[in-house]
Structure 1
Amino acid sequence: MSIEKILQSLTKLDMLHKSLLEIAYKKTEVIKTGDMDSLNQLLKDEQAHVAGISQLEQQRQTEVTDYLRAKGIAPTDNPTVALVLENTNTNEEKEQLGAARNKLLLTIETLKYQNDLNQKLTLQSLQFVNLTLDTLRPKPDQINYSKSEVQAPSTTNNYFDSQA
């Protein structure tokens, strides 16, 4: 059995992750501008991509399991491409599979970084909104309408010099 199906799955996964990365870049700009309608649409697109990635990941795991079984190796609960790399005989297949795997891992790492940035920007925006609300909202201990603290203006302590 060859690794072609696994390579195709890795290539499709990389394409979907790159598309998801583009959405993450757009999301960064939308968060900066505060356009909630665009952000909602991007979140829907992101969810569709994640669902597609999940399906492709299941397909990849099935293909890796089939490949390992064909080689006479009992697959684990989470069959990985690294396990296939260890059990591939030809150098050409190892190079192709390693390159596809590294390319996907790089894309995923970039996506993680961008999502982390988006999370920090969102948190910062929420903190700004909360700060703004806190400054506009009076604190309960600042409002005190008791008579003992309300004083009439005193005429004896007049600091205004009328002759000046």
Structure 2
Amino acid sequence: MSVLSTLEKLERMHKSLLELAHKKTDIIKANDIEALDELIKMEQAHVAAITTLEQQRQLMVTDYLRAKGIAYTDNPTVAELIDAIDSEEEKQQLIATRERLLTLLTELKVQNDLNQKLVYQSLQFINIQLEPFRPARPDAFNYSGDEVRGQSNQKKVTYFDSQA
């Protein structure tokens, strides 16, 4: 398996993950918790496969750079590989695939940010709806004996006590 084929597989997996992210937006809007749960399971499987492919990619790039006697970073990048490749055709293929993958990653980040905001708004809406059913806070009814008789321990602020 070559680095290019691994990058193409990563591209396909990220495209599929982006499709799931778009579906997730619709599911969140529809407030379908069961479908959301199933979709999250599919996302986790995609992420696991992407992680495996990314590890393979790093290993292949490391092996290639080591074989050429080129110093590389701890996590060798495709950019480092592109710089090391002699064949102009392979370089162009890697550059094109890398650019498509970077575009997909940007789109995926934008979509995931949107989904996160939608989930947050949904949670806020649920909290607002549940507020009337929550018991009152205990500190709201913290009366001492003087307050019950109409004498508060708090200093009364009058108009003359305030500062402009």
1-structure distance, mates of 2:99, 2:132: 49
Shift of 1:135: 3.6
User: What is the letter of the counterpart of residue 58 of structure 1?
Assistant: Q
Residue number in structure 2 paired with 1:123: 120
Shift of 1:139: 3.5
Residue number in structure 2 paired with 1:56: 53
> Once the two structures are superposed, what CA deviation does each residue of 1:91-128 show, in whole Å capped at 9, x if it has no partner?
22211110010011111111111000000000000011
Residue number in structure 2 paired with 1:11: 8
Mean alpha-carbon deviation: is it higher for 37-46 or for 126-135?
A: 126-135
Residue number in structure 2 paired with 1:105: 102
CA RMSD after TM alignment: 2.2
Residue number in structure 2 paired with 1:78: 75
User: What is the letter of the counterpart of residue 129 of structure 1?
Assistant: I
Q: Secondary structure at the match of 1:139?
A: coil
**Structure 2, unpaired ranges of 5+:** 151-164
What is the TM-score with the length of structure 1 in the denominator? Answer: 0.81
Q: Secondary structure at the match of 1:89?
A: coil
Q: Secondary structure at the match of 1:74?
A: coil
Shift of 1:148: 8.1
User: What is the letter of the counterpart of residue 84 of structure 2?
Assistant: N
What is the TM-score with the length of structure 2 in the denominator? Answer: 0.81
1-structure distance, mates of 2:64, 2:97: 17
- Runs of 4 or more, structure 1, over 6 Å off, are none
Question: Given the alignment, which residue of 19, 43, 59 partners 1:22?
Answer: 19
**Structure 1, unpaired ranges of 5+:** 150-164
Shift of 1:133: 1.2
- In the alignment, is residue 139 of structure 1 matched against residue 139 of structure 2? no
Residue number in structure 1 paired with 2:154: none
2-structure distance, mates of 1:132, 1:84: 55
Q: % of aligned pairs identical?
A: 55
2-structure distance, mates of 1:111, 1:105: 10
1-structure distance, mates of 2:13, 2:90: 23
1-structure distance, mates of 2:36, 2:118: 13
Residue number in structure 2 paired with 1:158: none
Residue number in structure 2 paired with 1:88: 85
Q: Please identify the structure whose Cα radius of gyration is greater.
A: 1
Shift of 1:67: 1.1
